[in-house]
Amino acid sequence: MEFTAAQIAGLLNGEVTGNPDVSVSSLAKIEEGQTGALSFLSNPKYEPYIYTTGSSICIVNQTFVPSKALPSTLTLVKVADAYACFAQLLALYDSMNKKEAVIEQPSFIHESAQIGENVYIGAFAYIGANVQIGANCQIHPHVVIQEHTIIGDNTTIYPSVSIYKDCRVGARCVVHAGTVIGSDGFGFAPDENGVFSKIPQIGNVVIEDDVEIGSNCSIDRATMGSTFIRKGVKIDNLCQIAHNVDIDQHTVMAAQVGIAGSAKIGKHVMIGGQTGIAGHLSIADHTKIVAQSGIPSTVKKADTLMGTPAIPINDYKRSHFGFRKLPGLINKIYDLENQLKELLKNKEA
């Protein structure tokens, strides 16, 4: 689908500088632009590319002033926030690529399941008894949705996702391929001989609206009650969320984060990749955790934390500076020991 510069400016409440009738039919990074492509510039680091780009249209901030001549083939659309506006266009482009409403065959849909209007269900999908799927959902091939699960409107479930029984997924959510929602929590109790017996996990997972979950994540069902992923949470690929965890609104986490059972993560928390968070603790709202950190105990006050165990980042940097000097300090100690031995030897003589 093609859009002119004038149409794009109208969508984004922007201003055209150049040819308002030039059209684009694809998107490209500014450094890889070609004729007919739309790009954007928001980071000054990439400004040099705008003077050589082959793109036909580039979205820029209203404050952008070229420092030299732009390509004669380039038209600018000036907006208040180039990055946010380009993201808006990407969302529009993505919505145009959604599957049309159809139920592909072969697939299994239990007779008691309730399917909303304008829903796509891909081949080999399994929809269990008393499942409810809202309007405008996209259920891709090989998805398994077990009995009594509810999926909200406008949610997309990508291929090979498994959602166990009794779970809840809100509206406008996205769950990427291979993720498992509602598998048993890691609950075992040893007997007097040290043999572990399984504790039944009879709770569920509740995912609220506007959540996005990356590929190959595992979100365990609660032992009792619910594991909660609250409104607006964003979870990257390969994350493990254990039973009875509660992740509050608009928290984000990068890949390979692991959160142990019954941990409570506050609102607007940012968690870097490969962070490990112990169970039965809480983390204050607006906390930031640097990648590969370990959180062994409750964080009562928002801070930026780093290290294992994690400490405030400035303390960590000072500690790390001292650690880097440690080999030299050890050598100095050896030198001082040798000097002391020599002094004692001379004194005895």
Q: Is there a contact between 265 and 245 (Cβ–Cβ < 8 Å)?
A: yes
Write down the catalytic residue from 140, 148, 176, 243: 243
Find the DSSP H helices in 201-297.
none
Q: Answer for the pair 12, 85: CB distance below 8 angstroms, yes or no.
A: yes
Q: How far apart are CA 51 and CA 71, in angstroms?
A: 6
Q: What count of Cα atoms within 13 Å lies in the side-chain half-sphere of residue 31?
A: 5
Amino acid letter for position 79: V
Residue 236 CB contacts under 8 Å (≥ 6 apart), including other chains: 214, 253, 254, 255, 257, 273
Task: Tell me if 247 sits within 8 A of 227, measured CB to CB.
Answer: no
Q: Where are the beta strands (DSSP E) in 101-187?
A: 108-109, 114-115, 120-121, 126-127, 132-133, 138-139, 144-145, 150-151, 156-157, 162-163, 168-169, 174-175, 180-183
Residue 250 bears catalytic tag: no
H or E element in which residue 204 lies = strand 204-207
Structure tokens at 72: 């004669």
Strand-pair partners of 57: 38, 75
Active-site residue numbers?
Answer: 243
